Amino acid sequence: MKITSTEIRKKFIEYFGSLNHIVFNSDSLIPSSDPTLLFTSAGMVQFKDYFLAKKTGLKRACSIQKCLRTSDIEKVGHTIRHLTFFEMLGNFSFGDYFKKEAIHWAWEFICNVVNLDRTRLYITVYKDDDEAYEIWSKILPTSKIYKLSEETNFWKMGDSGPCGPCSEILYDLGDEFGCKKPDCGPQCGCDRFLEVWNLVFTQFDLQKDGKLVPLKQKNIDTGMGLERLCMVVNNLKSVFETDLFMPIKEEFKKYISSNSENFDIYINAISDHIRAATFAISEGILPSNESRGYVIRKIIRRALRYVKLLNYNKPILYKLVPKVVEIMRSVYPEIELHREKVSVIIKSEEEKFLETLDEGIKLIDELTKKYKDIIPADVVFKLYDTYGFPKELIDEILKEKNLSYNEKEFLEIQKKSKDISKASWKGVKVVNKDIYLLFPQTKFIGYEEFSTKAKLLGIIKDTKVINKASKNEEVELIFDITTFYGESGGQIGDSGTIETLDNKIVAEVKDTKKIENRTVHIAYLYQEIETNSDFILKVNIQKRKNIMRHHTATHLLHKALKEILGEHATQSGSLVADNYFRFDFIHWKALSSDEISQIEKIVNQKILECLPVEVIHTDLEKAKKLGATALFEEKYQQQVRVIAIGGKIENDRIIKPPYSIELCGGTHCSNTGEIGIFKILSETSVGTNIRRIEAICGEKVSYYIDNLSKILSEIGYMLGTTNLEEIKFKIEKLIQENKKLQKEIENIKLNLTSQHSQEISQELNGIKFYIKHIPDIELRQLRTLSDEIIRKYEKEPYLVVLYSTQKEKISIVIRTTPTLIQQGLTSQKFAEKISKNLNIRLAGRDDFVQGGGSIIEEKPISIHTILNILTQ
C-alpha cells in the first residue's frame, strides 16, 4: 500500500488546516444538531445551521465525518464501491470562499497531495453552471468536462434544506470496470468512472413545497469518500481491498473459508456491515424493531444471511468487533470504550436471528417451489414478522429467485400490525433551541452551593422573550448564575424557590431544564417580576439531597452489578429522581433472588464503609487512562468530570484505586455514608438484553420499612399472631388449603358437566375408539380427565378423544396407548384428520395431541362426526 488510510486522513486535515479551516471532530452518527434525522449521512450535517446562517462566526471548516447510508444496501458487497458506513472527508465555507477556490484546492489536493494520475480524471458540472464549467476549463481540456442534469449534479439533503449545483471529480478505473456499452462514459452509472469527490455549491434553501430560496450567503460543502480515495490512490480494484477492510476480512477467514463463487461478495458485505454495526451500537443504537435500531438490525441480519449462505451456523460477527476497533480506534477512541458491550450485543442479536433463520430459509425454499412468480403478500409478511427477515432482505432474496409480491398489500398489512407498537412509540421531542441561544450560558454553582444571588436575564412565555411577567403566570426564567441543576444525564431537574433579596418568595420553581448550557427554571409566579432584577435562588435542599443519595447509589450499584454479573453489565440508561431511581443495564436474563440480595449487600457495605466521593476535572484521555466508565449513549466533551468513590487520585494519578470511577456531570454526596441505606424494589426486563433495577435510598427506605411493617402487622392481626415465622407458616397452610378446595370445586364442576356429556366407545379394525364430548370445560380440565382415562386403558389399543365446546370454540385432546403407537398409529396421525376436517390447530407428541380453534359449523360437532372423521 502506497498511502495508508491514516496518512490520507492526516494529509487532508493538514492541507485544509493550512488553508485556515477549523478542524472539527466527527459528529456522532445520530446528528447532534438535528435529532429528527435518522443518521448523519454527510459531513455537512453538523454544519446545517451555518449554511442557513442561523449560526454565524464560522467561516471555514473541515472534518472527517463517520456516515451511515442504507439507501443502496442491497448493492453492498456486489459492487466495488458501495458501503453503508463510510468516512467523508469534507471542507466547508460559510459565506467565505466559493467555486473558484473550492475547485482549485480540490484539484491541487487530488493531483499534488495524494498524487492521483490526472490523465484519469474527469469532471462533471451541472448543465446550467457556466461558472463552474469556466473554472474547470482553465484546468483541464473541455473534452474531460461533462455537463449533466440535476439528477446527478444538483445536491439536496432530502426534501428540504441547504442545497445547490454540484461538480464531481471522477476517476477512470479503466475499460475492464466498464459496462462495455458503446456510450459508456462519466454520465454512465457503472463502476468505471468512480465518483471520488463531490463539490457542492450550496446557495439555495429548498423549501418543503419545492421552492428554491437563495441563501443569504454562498457556501461550499464538499464530500469525498475516504475508502474510495484510498482505493484509487493505491491502484486497488475495490474499496474492500483497502487497509480499512482487509484486516477484517482476514480475521473472518480465520473462522470461515469457502469455495463458494460468491465468497467475495459475502465477505465484502460482511466487512462493511460489521463496521456499521460496531459504530452504531457503540453510540447506543441497539438493534430493535423501531427507527434507528431497526436499521442496525437490518444491517446485522443481512450480514448473517451471508454467513449462513457460507454454511456457518454459529455466531461469528461479534468476533470481528475487536478488529474494527483496532483499525479505527486511533481516529474514533469512543469505540474502544464500548468494545465489549458491542460484542455482547451483536452476539446476542446473532443468536436470536440464527434461531429463526433456518425456518425462514426453509419457508423461502418452499415458496420458491410453490409459487411460480408471485407470492401472496401475507406470506411475505410472515417472513418479515415471524421470522424477522428485514423487508429489504426479503426483496433481495426474492429478486435473486425471480419472485415478486404485491408490495402495496404488504405495506398495508405491515401498517395494520404496526399500529399497536406505534401507540407506544414516543417520537423525539424537538425543542426549538434558538430562543435560549439569545442568552449567555448559565454559570452553574450548584455542585457546592444550594442558594445564590442571581440576576434575571430573561423571561420566556409561550416561546417568546418578555421583560415582565405577572402574578399567577407560569414562565421560564433564565439567570446569569444558578444553583439549580437542569435535568440532564438521567438526573431530574431541581425545584425550589425564587426570593427577593429580603427573602420574600416571588416564585416557585417546579422543574429545571438544561438547554444548550442555559439553565431554564420553570416557575410559577406569586408576584410580578421583571428582568434585570436580582433575586435569591434557593434549591429545595431535602429533595436535592435525596437525588444526590440516589445518584451516588447508581454508581455503587453499577459497580456491584459488574462484580456479581460480569463486566458486560454496563449501564444503558438511568433515571435519578428524589423518590427513587432506576438503572438500566445490559444482561440477558432475570436476576435470581440470590443475586439481588448479594448486590444489595455489596452496595450497603460500601455505604457503611463511608467512602469519600471525589470529583476530578480532567480531559477525556486522562479519564480513560484512570479507568473511568463512560456511558453508552453519551457524547463527551474534551474536558470531563469524573466521580471517583473510595480511592485517592492526585494530579491524574491513582494513589489508591477507587471502588467506582465514572464520567458524570450529576450531583453527588460527598461520602457514601450520606446515602444511609439502599434497597432494591424491583428487577424487570425493558427490552432485549436490557434489565431494569428500581431502587430507593435513605429516608425513602425508612418509609418503605415503615409501610412494610404496618402491612405485616395487619396481616399478623388477621392471622392472630405477631411472630413472622408463624405468619409465614400460616400463609403457606392457607395457600395449600385453597389449592385443595379449588381442586374439589373443579371436580364437582366436572361431575356436574359430565352429566351433560356424551360418549361413544366402539371397536373398528382392531382400534378401540373412545370419544367423549363434555360441554363448557377448559382444555386444562380435558387434559386431567384424559390422564385418568388413558391410565385405565393403558394396555389396550385405545384412541381416546375428549373435546369440549364453549360457544363457537372447540378444545380437544387426543391420546393413544402404546399398543397403537407401536403400530404407527400415533395421536398425530389422527390429529391430522381432525385438523383437516375441522380446520383447527393441533400439536403434540406421538401419545398426546391437544389444541383448539373456532367452529365454523352452525351445528355443534357430535361425537359421531368425530368418529366418522377418525375412521375415514
Binding residues vs ligand SER (CB under 6 A): 42-44, 90, 155, 198, 200, 221-223
Integer Cα distance of 680 and 23 in angstroms? 47
Residue 42 or 640 with smaller CB distance to ligand SER? 42
CA-based nearest residue to 384, from 411, 366, 403, 402: 411
Integer Cα distance of 558 and 688 in angstroms? 19
Beta strands in 14-160 (DSSP E): 22-24, 60-68, 85-94, 121-126, 145-148, 154-155
Place of cell 373443579: 746
Integer Cα distance of 646 and 648 in angstroms? 7
Taking residue 44's Cβ as centre, other Cβ atoms within 10 Å add up to 27
Residue 166 or 342 with smaller CB distance to ligand SER? 166
| Residue with nearest beta carbon to ligand SER | 223
Residue 150 or 621 with smaller CB distance to ligand SER? 150
Residue 169 or 459 with smaller CB distance to ligand SER? 169
Q: What is the distance in angstroms between the CA of the first residue and the CA of the last residue of the chain? A: 76
Residue 43 or 287 with smaller CB distance to ligand SER? 43
Place of cell 425508612: 702
Integer Cα distance of 5 and 765 in angstroms? 80
Shortest distance, CB of residue 694 to ligand SER, whole angstroms?
Answer: 44
* Secondary structure percentages of the chain, helix, strand, coil, to 5: 40, 25, 30
Residue 149 or 533 with smaller CB distance to ligand SER? 149
The DSSP bridge partners found for residue 13 are none
Shortest distance, CB of residue 103 to ligand SER, whole angstroms?
Answer: 14
Shortest distance, CB of residue 167 to ligand SER, whole angstroms?
Answer: 11
Query: Which residues are within 8 A (CB) of 337 and not within 5 positions of it... i.e. 6 or more apart?
Result: 282, 624, 630
Residue 15 or 581 with smaller CB distance to ligand SER? 15
Residue 221 or 272 with smaller CB distance to ligand SER? 221
C-alpha dist (Å) from residue 663 to 216, 508, 545: 42, 32, 20
Shortest distance, CB of residue 198 to ligand SER, whole angstroms?
Answer: 4
Residue 54 or 510 with smaller CB distance to ligand SER? 54
Residue 99 or 555 with smaller CB distance to ligand SER? 99
Shortest distance, CB of residue 569 to ligand SER, whole angstroms?
Answer: 39
C-alpha dist (Å) from residue 673 to 450, 576, 589, 677, 678: 20, 18, 32, 8, 11
Residue 44 or 834 with smaller CB distance to ligand SER? 44
Shortest distance, CB of residue 634 to ligand SER, whole angstroms?
Answer: 27
CA-based nearest residue to 792, from 810, 772, 764: 772
Shortest distance, CB of residue 115 to ligand SER, whole angstroms?
Answer: 23
Shortest distance, CB of residue 430 to ligand SER, whole angstroms?
Answer: 22
Residue 221 or 350 with smaller CB distance to ligand SER? 221
800 close to 831: Cβ distance less than 8 angstroms: no
Shortest distance, CB of residue 195 to ligand SER, whole angstroms?
Answer: 9
DSSP H or E stretch at residue 604: helix 593-608
Residue 47 or 306 with smaller CB distance to ligand SER? 47
Q: Which residues of 12-39 are buried (b: 16+ CB within 10 A; e: fewer)?
A: bbebbeeeebeebebbbbbbebbeeebb
Question: What DSSP character marks residue 809?
Answer: E
Render 213-238 in DSSP notation, one character per residue: EEEEEEEEEEEEEHHHHHHHHTT-SS
Residue 222 or 689 with smaller CB distance to ligand SER? 222
Residue type, 349: E
DSSP H or E stretch at residue 380: helix 377-385
C-alpha dist (Å) from residue 90 to 30, 52, 530: 18, 18, 47
Residue 40 or 816 with smaller CB distance to ligand SER? 40
Residue 200 or 831 with smaller CB distance to ligand SER? 200
Shortest distance, CB of residue 153 to ligand SER, whole angstroms?
Answer: 11
C-alpha dist (Å) from residue 335 to 116, 277, 563: 32, 11, 23
Q: Which residues of 795-813 are buried (b: 16+ CB within 10 A; e: fewer)?
A: eebbbbbbbbbeeeebbbb
Residue 152 or 757 with smaller CB distance to ligand SER? 152
State the greatest distance between any 2 C-alpha atoms of the chain, in Å, as a whole number. 104
Shortest distance, CB of residue 516 to ligand SER, whole angstroms?
Answer: 25
C-alpha dist (Å) from residue 864 to 757, 772, 835, 860, 869: 13, 10, 16, 11, 9
Shortest distance, CB of residue 840 to ligand SER, whole angstroms?
Answer: 57
Q: Where are the alpha helices (DSSP H) in 310-338?
A: 321-328, 334-337
CA-based nearest residue to 37, from 26, 45, 27: 45
Shortest distance, CB of residue 214 to ligand SER, whole angstroms?
Answer: 18
556 close to 571: Cβ distance less than 8 angstroms: no
Taking residue 574's Cβ as centre, other Cβ atoms within 10 Å add up to 22
Residue 44 or 435 with smaller CB distance to ligand SER? 44
Beta strands in 620-744 (DSSP E): 639-645, 648-650, 653-656, 660-663, 678-687, 690-697
139 close to 191: Cβ distance less than 8 angstroms: no
435 close to 518: Cβ distance less than 8 angstroms: no
The DSSP bridge partners found for residue 690 are 586, 687
